[in-house]
Amino acid sequence: MQIRPGHIFAALVLLLLLSSCHRGARRIPRSKMVDIYGEMFLQDEAVRANPEIRKEADTMLVYEGIFEKYGYNTDDYLYSVEYYLRDPDRMAKIMNEVNLRMRNAAREMVPEVELYDWQQEMMKLYEKPEENRFPLVSSPSDISRVVRDTAGSPYFLRILPPGETE
């Protein structure tokens, strides 16, 4: 039997099909690694904050959902970590970018956290008995005074702190 070009072509196609069925670990691109690490750090904090989950959490199983979200699996992640650790500078760049993103996200959250804290303080205030909710003031003059500004016009008012004169 002679080997014809058609046989070689068929053998190559069969070889490609067989090799595509068994997918090896893939390297996750740097930008995706930054996204994944960011979510992993947040997941760590969520696990750390919840004692019930902390007892049951197996580290890699906790992260599996994150990997799947980006279209990867644990093998891909481990392969990628090994790849990036071969060049410490490259891994340091990834971690620095994750750090920068997390800091920026934290800065954006400050107003929301302050509002939440204020709301919590208000809730605590209203849980107190009515007589303890607000500080007692002996007279309105202890707080401030409203005075007319610029030639006595009623439309321009100024609030003076206690003790300050015009």
Phi/psi for 18 (5° steps) reads: -65, -40
Collapse the DSSP code of 54 into the 3-class scheme (helix H, G, I; strand E, B; otherwise coil) and give the result.
helix
Q: Chunk the chain into consecutive blocks of 10 residues (it has 166) and report each block's average pLDDT, rounded to whole numbers.
A: 56 50 78 94 85 69 89 93 93 94 89 85 74 55 53 55 63
Q: What is the pLDDT of residue 68?
A: 93
Q: What is the pTM of this model?
A: 0.56
- Residue pointed to by tokens 């707080």: 143
What's the pLDDT score for residue 48?
83
Q: What is the pLDDT of residue 78?
A: 93
Tell me the C-alpha distance between 151 and 83, whole Å: 75
The pLDDT of residue 75 is 92
Six-digit token string for 88: 């410490």
The answer to whether 6 and 67 have CB atoms below 8 angstroms apart is no
DSSP per-residue codes, 150-161:
TTTEEEEEEEEP
